Structure 1
Amino acid sequence: WLQAGVMVEGQVQRTVAGAPQGGVISPLLANIYLHTLDRELTERGVGTLVRYADDGVVLCRSEQQARAALAALAAVEDLLGGLGLQLHPGKTRVVDLCEGREGFDFLGCHFRARMSGRLWEQKRIVRYYLHRWPSQKAMKRLREKVRDRTGRNRVGVDVRIVIDELNPILRGWGNYFGTGNAADKFIQIDRYVTWRLRRLQIKKRGRNLRAGQADQWTRHWFKEQGLHQLMGTIRYPKAA
Protein backbone atom coordinates (compact mmCIF):
# COMPACT_ATOMS: atom_id res chain seq x y z
CA TRP A 1 0.00 0.00 0.00
CA LEU A 2 2.70 2.49 0.97
CA GLN A 3 4.65 1.82 -2.22
CA ALA A 4 1.66 1.92 -4.56
CA GLY A 5 2.39 5.50 -5.65
CA VAL A 6 -0.07 8.08 -6.94
CA MET A 7 -1.50 8.91 -10.36
CA VAL A 8 -0.71 12.44 -11.61
CA GLU A 9 -2.14 13.40 -15.02
CA GLY A 10 -2.14 9.77 -16.13
CA GLN A 11 1.40 9.07 -14.92
CA VAL A 12 2.25 6.93 -11.89
CA GLN A 13 4.62 8.63 -9.45
CA ARG A 14 6.26 6.88 -6.52
CA THR A 15 5.75 8.39 -3.08
CA VAL A 16 8.78 9.22 -0.98
CA ALA A 17 7.12 9.11 2.44
CA GLY A 18 3.72 8.65 4.05
CA ALA A 19 0.49 7.30 2.63
CA PRO A 20 -1.25 8.94 -0.34
CA GLN A 21 -4.14 11.19 0.68
CA GLY A 22 -7.43 9.43 -0.04
CA GLY A 23 -5.81 6.00 -0.10
CA VAL A 24 -7.85 3.24 1.53
CA ILE A 25 -4.94 2.44 3.85
CA SER A 26 -4.71 6.01 5.22
CA PRO A 27 -7.63 5.83 7.71
CA LEU A 28 -6.40 2.47 9.03
CA LEU A 29 -2.90 3.84 9.66
CA ALA A 30 -4.39 6.95 11.28
CA ASN A 31 -6.46 4.78 13.64
CA ILE A 32 -3.42 2.71 14.60
CA TYR A 33 -1.29 5.77 15.31
CA LEU A 34 -4.00 7.82 17.03
CA HIS A 35 -5.26 4.99 19.24
CA THR A 36 -2.82 6.37 21.81
CA LEU A 37 -4.57 9.74 21.69
CA ASP A 38 -7.99 8.09 22.02
CA ARG A 39 -6.88 6.15 25.08
CA GLU A 40 -5.21 9.11 26.79
CA LEU A 41 -8.21 11.41 26.40
CA THR A 42 -10.62 8.69 27.55
CA GLU A 43 -8.55 8.02 30.67
CA ARG A 44 -8.39 11.74 31.48
CA GLY A 45 -12.17 12.02 31.17
CA VAL A 46 -12.20 15.38 29.40
CA GLY A 47 -15.08 15.56 26.94
CA THR A 48 -16.04 13.12 24.21
CA LEU A 49 -13.67 12.64 21.29
CA VAL A 50 -15.25 12.31 17.85
CA ARG A 51 -12.55 11.37 15.36
CA TYR A 52 -12.39 10.30 11.72
CA ALA A 53 -8.87 9.33 10.63
CA ASP A 54 -6.69 12.31 11.61
CA ASP A 55 -9.52 14.84 12.06
CA GLY A 56 -11.16 15.10 15.44
CA VAL A 57 -13.42 17.17 17.68
CA VAL A 58 -13.66 17.00 21.47
CA LEU A 59 -17.22 17.72 22.65
CA CYS A 60 -17.49 19.41 26.06
CA ARG A 61 -20.39 20.62 28.20
CA SER A 62 -18.71 23.72 29.63
CA GLU A 63 -15.87 26.13 28.96
CA GLN A 64 -14.06 24.74 31.99
CA GLN A 65 -14.19 21.23 30.58
CA ALA A 66 -13.08 22.55 27.18
CA ARG A 67 -10.05 24.24 28.74
CA ALA A 68 -9.22 20.99 30.53
CA ALA A 69 -9.46 19.12 27.22
CA LEU A 70 -7.14 21.64 25.58
CA ALA A 71 -4.66 21.20 28.42
CA ALA A 72 -4.91 17.42 28.05
CA LEU A 73 -4.15 17.70 24.34
CA ALA A 74 -1.09 19.81 25.12
CA ALA A 75 0.02 17.21 27.67
CA VAL A 76 -0.14 14.34 25.18
CA GLU A 77 1.59 16.33 22.42
CA ASP A 78 4.99 15.01 23.51
CA LEU A 79 3.56 11.51 23.26
CA LEU A 80 2.35 12.24 19.73
CA GLY A 81 5.74 13.72 18.88
CA GLY A 82 7.31 10.36 19.61
CA LEU A 83 5.10 8.94 16.86
CA GLY A 84 6.12 11.66 14.42
CA LEU A 85 2.78 13.45 14.81
CA GLN A 86 1.78 16.92 15.96
CA LEU A 87 -1.45 18.82 16.56
CA HIS A 88 -2.40 21.36 13.90
CA PRO A 89 -1.85 24.74 15.65
CA GLY A 90 -4.43 26.52 13.51
CA LYS A 91 -7.17 23.98 14.21
CA THR A 92 -6.52 23.22 17.89
CA ARG A 93 -8.73 25.73 19.69
CA VAL A 94 -11.79 26.14 21.90
CA VAL A 95 -15.03 27.02 20.09
CA ASP A 96 -18.08 28.43 21.89
CA LEU A 97 -21.19 26.96 20.25
CA CYS A 98 -23.65 28.60 22.66
CA GLU A 99 -26.31 30.70 20.90
CA GLY A 100 -24.46 30.41 17.60
CA ARG A 101 -21.58 32.64 18.69
CA GLU A 102 -19.01 30.53 16.87
CA GLY A 103 -18.82 27.53 14.60
CA PHE A 104 -16.24 25.06 13.35
CA ASP A 105 -15.44 23.03 10.25
CA PHE A 106 -15.24 19.24 10.40
CA LEU A 107 -15.13 16.76 7.51
CA GLY A 108 -16.15 19.40 4.98
CA CYS A 109 -19.12 20.65 7.01
CA HIS A 110 -19.53 23.83 9.01
CA PHE A 111 -21.25 23.30 12.37
CA ARG A 112 -23.04 26.15 14.13
CA ALA A 113 -26.02 26.50 16.48
CA ARG A 114 -29.12 28.18 15.08
CA MET A 115 -32.24 29.34 16.91
CA SER A 116 -35.47 27.52 16.02
CA GLY A 117 -37.61 30.06 14.20
CA ARG A 118 -40.68 27.82 14.42
CA LEU A 119 -40.56 27.50 18.22
CA TRP A 120 -40.10 31.24 18.56
CA GLU A 121 -42.97 32.09 16.23
CA GLN A 122 -45.40 29.56 17.69
CA LYS A 123 -44.52 29.51 21.41
CA ARG A 124 -42.00 32.32 21.92
CA ILE A 125 -39.48 29.72 23.10
CA VAL A 126 -35.79 30.40 22.48
CA ARG A 127 -34.04 27.13 21.68
CA TYR A 128 -30.89 26.48 19.69
CA TYR A 129 -30.11 23.41 17.60
CA LEU A 130 -26.82 22.42 16.01
CA HIS A 131 -26.95 22.79 12.24
CA ARG A 132 -24.45 21.80 9.59
CA TRP A 133 -23.92 22.80 5.99
CA PRO A 134 -21.05 22.73 3.45
CA SER A 135 -18.04 24.71 4.63
CA GLN A 136 -16.61 27.61 2.65
CA LYS A 137 -13.73 25.38 1.57
CA ALA A 138 -16.13 22.71 0.32
CA MET A 139 -18.09 25.32 -1.63
CA LYS A 140 -14.91 26.75 -3.11
CA ARG A 141 -13.59 23.34 -4.20
CA LEU A 142 -16.85 22.49 -5.94
CA ARG A 143 -16.94 25.83 -7.75
CA GLU A 144 -13.38 25.22 -8.93
CA LYS A 145 -14.37 21.83 -10.36
CA VAL A 146 -17.35 23.38 -12.14
CA ARG A 147 -15.20 26.22 -13.46
CA ASP A 148 -12.58 23.79 -14.79
CA ARG A 149 -15.24 22.04 -16.85
CA THR A 150 -16.93 25.19 -18.13
CA GLY A 151 -13.91 27.29 -19.09
CA ARG A 152 -12.99 28.88 -22.42
CA ASN A 153 -11.39 25.65 -23.59
CA ARG A 154 -14.84 23.97 -23.51
CA VAL A 155 -16.54 26.40 -25.90
CA GLY A 156 -16.43 23.87 -28.74
CA VAL A 157 -17.90 21.05 -26.64
CA ASP A 158 -21.61 20.27 -26.82
CA VAL A 159 -23.34 21.50 -23.67
CA ARG A 160 -24.87 18.04 -23.09
CA ILE A 161 -21.39 16.53 -22.90
CA VAL A 162 -20.36 19.20 -20.39
CA ILE A 163 -23.49 18.41 -18.38
CA ASP A 164 -22.64 14.69 -18.45
CA GLU A 165 -19.24 15.56 -16.96
CA LEU A 166 -20.74 17.81 -14.28
CA ASN A 167 -23.51 15.45 -13.17
CA PRO A 168 -21.36 12.86 -11.30
CA ILE A 169 -19.58 15.69 -9.47
CA LEU A 170 -22.82 17.42 -8.47
CA ARG A 171 -24.56 14.17 -7.56
CA GLY A 172 -21.69 12.94 -5.37
CA TRP A 173 -21.34 16.31 -3.65
CA GLY A 174 -25.09 16.49 -3.08
CA ASN A 175 -25.24 12.97 -1.65
CA TYR A 176 -22.52 13.82 0.87
CA PHE A 177 -24.06 17.07 2.11
CA GLY A 178 -27.71 16.21 1.43
CA THR A 179 -28.67 15.20 4.98
CA GLY A 180 -27.82 18.47 6.70
CA ASN A 181 -29.13 22.03 6.61
CA ALA A 182 -27.70 22.74 3.18
CA ALA A 183 -30.74 24.00 1.25
CA ASP A 184 -29.41 27.56 0.85
CA LYS A 185 -25.98 26.29 -0.21
CA PHE A 186 -27.55 23.93 -2.74
CA ILE A 187 -29.45 26.83 -4.29
CA GLN A 188 -26.22 28.84 -4.50
CA ILE A 189 -24.47 26.00 -6.33
CA ASP A 190 -27.40 25.53 -8.73
CA ARG A 191 -27.30 29.22 -9.58
CA TYR A 192 -23.54 29.12 -10.07
CA VAL A 193 -23.69 26.08 -12.38
CA THR A 194 -26.49 27.68 -14.42
CA TRP A 195 -24.51 30.91 -14.71
CA ARG A 196 -21.38 29.07 -15.87
CA LEU A 197 -23.27 27.01 -18.46
CA ARG A 198 -25.18 30.04 -19.72
CA ARG A 199 -21.91 31.94 -20.02
CA LEU A 200 -20.45 29.04 -21.98
CA GLN A 201 -23.40 29.06 -24.37
CA ILE A 202 -23.06 32.81 -24.94
CA LYS A 203 -19.35 32.48 -25.70
CA LYS A 204 -20.07 29.61 -28.06
CA ARG A 205 -22.45 31.78 -30.11
CA GLY A 206 -20.10 34.77 -30.09
CA ARG A 207 -21.16 37.38 -32.64
CA ASN A 208 -23.85 35.04 -33.93
CA LEU A 209 -25.81 35.43 -30.70
CA ARG A 210 -29.29 36.67 -31.57
CA ALA A 211 -31.15 39.25 -29.53
CA GLY A 212 -32.95 37.55 -26.66
CA GLN A 213 -31.43 34.14 -27.41
CA ALA A 214 -29.57 34.00 -24.11
CA ASP A 215 -32.87 34.37 -22.23
CA GLN A 216 -33.83 30.79 -23.14
CA TRP A 217 -30.83 29.31 -21.30
CA THR A 218 -32.47 29.17 -17.92
CA ARG A 219 -32.19 26.74 -15.03
CA HIS A 220 -35.16 24.82 -16.42
CA TRP A 221 -33.64 24.66 -19.92
CA PHE A 222 -30.42 23.11 -18.60
CA LYS A 223 -32.49 20.67 -16.54
CA GLU A 224 -34.21 19.59 -19.75
CA GLN A 225 -30.75 18.91 -21.21
CA GLY A 226 -30.14 16.48 -18.34
CA LEU A 227 -28.40 18.67 -15.73
CA HIS A 228 -28.59 17.27 -12.19
CA GLN A 229 -29.77 20.04 -9.89
CA LEU A 230 -29.33 20.06 -6.14
CA MET A 231 -32.36 22.08 -5.09
CA GLY A 232 -35.03 19.83 -3.62
CA THR A 233 -32.70 16.88 -2.95
CA ILE A 234 -32.19 17.46 0.80
CA ARG A 235 -33.08 14.31 2.78
CA TYR A 236 -34.53 15.10 6.20
CA PRO A 237 -34.60 12.39 8.89
CA LYS A 238 -38.02 10.96 9.69
CA ALA A 239 -39.44 11.22 13.19
CA ALA A 240 -38.93 8.12 15.32
Structure 2
Amino acid sequence: LQLKPEKTRICHTLREIEVDGEKVPPGFDFLGFNIRQYPKGKHTSGKSGGPHNRLLGFKTHIKPDKEAIKAHTEKVKEVIRNHKTAPQAALIKHLNPIITGWARYYSGVVSKEIFSKLDNILWQQLRAWVVSRCGNAEYKTLRKYYRTGMAKLSNGDERKDKWIFQTKDGLRLQKHAWTP
Protein backbone atom coordinates (compact mmCIF):
# COMPACT_ATOMS: atom_id res chain seq x y z
CA LEU A 1 0.00 0.00 0.00
CA GLN A 2 1.43 3.35 -1.00
CA LEU A 3 0.20 6.57 0.57
CA LYS A 4 0.32 9.74 -1.48
CA PRO A 5 1.63 12.61 0.68
CA GLU A 6 -0.55 15.21 -1.09
CA LYS A 7 -3.69 13.19 -0.26
CA THR A 8 -2.66 12.09 3.25
CA ARG A 9 -2.62 14.07 6.46
CA ILE A 10 -2.43 13.43 10.16
CA CYS A 11 -5.36 14.82 12.10
CA HIS A 12 -7.25 14.43 15.34
CA THR A 13 -11.00 14.00 15.17
CA LEU A 14 -11.74 15.86 18.43
CA ARG A 15 -9.18 18.65 18.83
CA GLU A 16 -7.12 20.93 16.65
CA ILE A 17 -3.48 19.76 16.51
CA GLU A 18 -0.23 21.17 15.18
CA VAL A 19 1.70 19.21 12.54
CA ASP A 20 4.99 20.61 11.18
CA GLY A 21 4.19 24.04 12.64
CA GLU A 22 0.79 24.14 10.91
CA LYS A 23 -2.54 23.95 12.75
CA VAL A 24 -4.77 21.16 11.49
CA PRO A 25 -8.53 21.44 12.15
CA PRO A 26 -10.28 18.47 13.77
CA GLY A 27 -11.89 15.81 11.59
CA PHE A 28 -11.41 14.79 7.99
CA ASP A 29 -13.33 14.51 4.73
CA PHE A 30 -13.75 11.17 2.98
CA LEU A 31 -15.97 10.33 -0.02
CA GLY A 32 -18.11 13.45 0.49
CA PHE A 33 -18.49 12.95 4.24
CA ASN A 34 -16.97 14.92 7.09
CA ILE A 35 -16.02 12.72 10.04
CA ARG A 36 -15.45 14.49 13.32
CA GLN A 37 -15.96 14.14 17.05
CA TYR A 38 -17.63 16.83 19.16
CA PRO A 39 -17.14 17.30 22.92
CA LYS A 40 -20.31 16.52 24.88
CA GLY A 41 -21.50 16.62 28.46
CA LYS A 42 -22.44 13.62 30.52
CA HIS A 43 -26.06 13.50 29.31
CA THR A 44 -25.30 13.40 25.58
CA SER A 45 -21.88 11.75 25.53
CA GLY A 46 -21.16 8.52 23.72
CA LYS A 47 -20.52 5.39 25.81
CA SER A 48 -17.71 2.88 25.52
CA GLY A 49 -19.92 -0.20 25.54
CA GLY A 50 -18.88 -3.40 27.20
CA PRO A 51 -19.39 -4.28 30.86
CA HIS A 52 -18.26 -0.91 32.29
CA ASN A 53 -20.07 1.38 29.82
CA ARG A 54 -17.97 4.48 30.59
CA LEU A 55 -18.77 7.95 29.24
CA LEU A 56 -16.39 9.02 26.49
CA GLY A 57 -16.91 12.80 26.71
CA PHE A 58 -17.48 13.10 22.97
CA LYS A 59 -19.82 11.98 20.22
CA THR A 60 -18.81 11.11 16.67
CA HIS A 61 -20.80 12.79 13.90
CA ILE A 62 -20.57 12.03 10.21
CA LYS A 63 -22.06 14.77 8.02
CA PRO A 64 -22.01 15.74 4.35
CA ASP A 65 -18.86 17.80 3.76
CA LYS A 66 -18.99 21.46 2.69
CA GLU A 67 -17.66 20.80 -0.80
CA ALA A 68 -20.38 18.19 -1.45
CA ILE A 69 -23.09 20.59 -0.25
CA LYS A 70 -21.73 23.39 -2.43
CA ALA A 71 -21.44 21.13 -5.50
CA HIS A 72 -25.03 19.92 -5.03
CA THR A 73 -26.33 23.47 -4.62
CA GLU A 74 -24.48 24.56 -7.76
CA LYS A 75 -25.84 21.61 -9.75
CA VAL A 76 -29.43 22.40 -8.72
CA LYS A 77 -28.85 26.07 -9.51
CA GLU A 78 -27.53 25.18 -12.97
CA VAL A 79 -30.55 22.99 -13.76
CA ILE A 80 -32.91 25.79 -12.71
CA ARG A 81 -30.94 28.30 -14.80
CA ASN A 82 -31.03 26.01 -17.85
CA HIS A 83 -34.82 25.56 -17.51
CA LYS A 84 -35.80 29.22 -17.13
CA THR A 85 -38.32 29.03 -19.95
CA ALA A 86 -39.28 25.36 -19.56
CA PRO A 87 -42.63 24.33 -18.09
CA GLN A 88 -42.82 23.58 -14.39
CA ALA A 89 -43.25 19.83 -15.04
CA ALA A 90 -40.00 19.67 -17.04
CA LEU A 91 -38.10 21.42 -14.27
CA ILE A 92 -39.51 19.04 -11.66
CA LYS A 93 -38.62 15.99 -13.79
CA HIS A 94 -35.01 17.18 -14.06
CA LEU A 95 -34.62 18.14 -10.40
CA ASN A 96 -36.27 15.13 -8.72
CA PRO A 97 -33.57 12.53 -9.55
CA ILE A 98 -30.81 14.94 -8.47
CA ILE A 99 -32.45 15.76 -5.13
CA THR A 100 -33.58 12.20 -4.39
CA GLY A 101 -30.21 10.66 -5.22
CA TRP A 102 -28.22 13.16 -3.17
CA ALA A 103 -30.58 12.92 -0.19
CA ARG A 104 -30.50 9.10 -0.20
CA TYR A 105 -26.70 9.04 -0.37
CA TYR A 106 -26.48 11.19 2.77
CA SER A 107 -29.55 9.79 4.56
CA GLY A 108 -27.55 7.41 6.75
CA VAL A 109 -25.59 10.15 8.51
CA VAL A 110 -26.34 13.28 10.55
CA SER A 111 -27.94 15.36 7.79
CA LYS A 112 -31.39 16.55 8.92
CA GLU A 113 -30.24 20.12 9.56
CA ILE A 114 -28.38 20.25 6.23
CA PHE A 115 -31.44 18.89 4.39
CA SER A 116 -33.53 21.72 5.87
CA LYS A 117 -30.95 24.32 4.81
CA LEU A 118 -30.84 22.88 1.30
CA ASP A 119 -34.64 23.00 1.07
CA ASN A 120 -34.52 26.66 2.10
CA ILE A 121 -31.92 27.40 -0.60
CA LEU A 122 -34.03 25.49 -3.13
CA TRP A 123 -37.10 27.52 -2.12
CA GLN A 124 -35.17 30.76 -2.78
CA GLN A 125 -33.91 29.53 -6.15
CA LEU A 126 -37.38 28.41 -7.25
CA ARG A 127 -38.89 31.67 -6.04
CA ALA A 128 -36.38 33.50 -8.26
CA TRP A 129 -37.40 31.16 -11.11
CA VAL A 130 -41.06 32.17 -10.62
CA VAL A 131 -40.10 35.87 -10.52
CA SER A 132 -38.14 35.51 -13.78
CA ARG A 133 -41.26 34.06 -15.42
CA CYS A 134 -43.97 36.24 -13.88
CA GLY A 135 -42.20 39.44 -12.88
CA ASN A 136 -43.20 39.41 -9.21
CA ALA A 137 -43.20 37.17 -6.16
CA GLU A 138 -46.56 38.02 -4.65
CA TYR A 139 -48.49 35.37 -2.76
CA LYS A 140 -51.05 35.11 -5.56
CA THR A 141 -48.34 34.43 -8.16
CA LEU A 142 -46.51 31.89 -6.01
CA ARG A 143 -49.77 30.00 -5.43
CA LYS A 144 -49.82 29.12 -9.14
CA TYR A 145 -46.69 27.04 -8.62
CA TYR A 146 -46.92 25.99 -4.96
CA ARG A 147 -49.64 23.98 -3.27
CA THR A 148 -50.51 22.55 0.12
CA GLY A 149 -50.97 18.82 0.29
CA MET A 150 -49.91 15.45 1.58
CA ALA A 151 -46.24 14.70 1.00
CA LYS A 152 -45.22 11.08 0.66
CA LEU A 153 -41.92 10.47 2.45
CA SER A 154 -39.29 8.00 1.25
CA ASN A 155 -40.16 5.53 4.02
CA GLY A 156 -43.83 5.42 2.93
CA ASP A 157 -45.18 7.78 5.60
CA GLU A 158 -47.28 10.79 4.66
CA ARG A 159 -47.41 14.23 6.20
CA LYS A 160 -49.19 17.47 5.44
CA ASP A 161 -46.83 20.03 3.99
CA LYS A 162 -47.26 23.62 2.84
CA TRP A 163 -45.52 25.19 -0.11
CA ILE A 164 -44.98 22.09 -2.22
CA PHE A 165 -43.65 22.98 -5.68
CA GLN A 166 -46.28 21.08 -7.63
CA THR A 167 -48.11 21.15 -10.96
CA LYS A 168 -51.88 21.16 -11.26
CA ASP A 169 -51.62 17.51 -12.39
CA GLY A 170 -50.02 16.52 -9.08
CA LEU A 171 -46.36 16.20 -10.17
CA ARG A 172 -44.38 17.47 -7.19
CA LEU A 173 -40.81 18.34 -6.46
CA GLN A 174 -39.13 16.13 -3.87
CA LYS A 175 -37.77 17.95 -0.82
CA HIS A 176 -34.52 16.91 0.82
CA ALA A 177 -36.18 16.80 4.23
CA TRP A 178 -38.68 14.18 3.06
CA THR A 179 -35.86 11.64 3.10
CA PRO A 180 -35.59 10.18 6.63
Q: TM-score, normalised by structure 2?
A: 0.68
Q: Which amino acid aligns with 2:4?
A: L
The runs of at least 4 consecutive aligned structure 1 residues that moved more than 4 Å come to none
Q: Which runs of 5+ in 1 are unaligned?
A: 1-36, 38-79, 81-85, 235-240
What residue is the counterpart of 1:220 in the other structure? 163
Highest relative contact order (Cα 8 Å, sep 6+), 1 or 2?
2
1:104 matches 2:31: no
Give the residue type in structure 1 aligned to 2:65.
S
Larger Rg: 1
Checking the alignment, whether the CA contact within 8 Å between 1:111 and 1:130 is kept in structure 2 is yes
What is the total number of aligned residue pairs between the two structures? 144
Conserved? CA contact 1:119–1:126, under 8 Å: no
Q: Deviations over 1:148-196 (max 9, x none)?
A: 1111x42211122111111101111111110000111111111111211
Quick check: 2:42–2:57 contact (8 Å CA) kept in 1? no
Q: By percentage of residues, which structure has more strand?
A: 2
**How far apart are the structure 2 equivalents of 1:102 and 1:189?**
24
| SS of equivalent to 1:150 | helix
Say if 1:198 and 1:214, in contact at 8 Å, map to a contact too.
no
1:87 corresponds in structure 2 to 4
In structure 2, do the counterparts of structure 1 residues 186 and 211 end up closer, same or farther at CA, with 3 Å as the change threshold?
closer
Question: Which consecutive residues of structure 2, in runs of 5 or more, have no partner in the other structure?
Answer: 17-24, 46-54, 147-161
| Cα distance in 1 between the residues matched to 2:12 and 2:60 | 12
1:114 aligns with 2:38: yes
Deviation at 1:133, TM superposition (A): 0.9
Superposition RMSD in Å? 2.8
The letter for the 2-side match of 1:107 is L
Greater per-residue helix proportion: 1
Letter in structure 2 aligned against 1:87: K
SS of residue paired to 2:176: coil
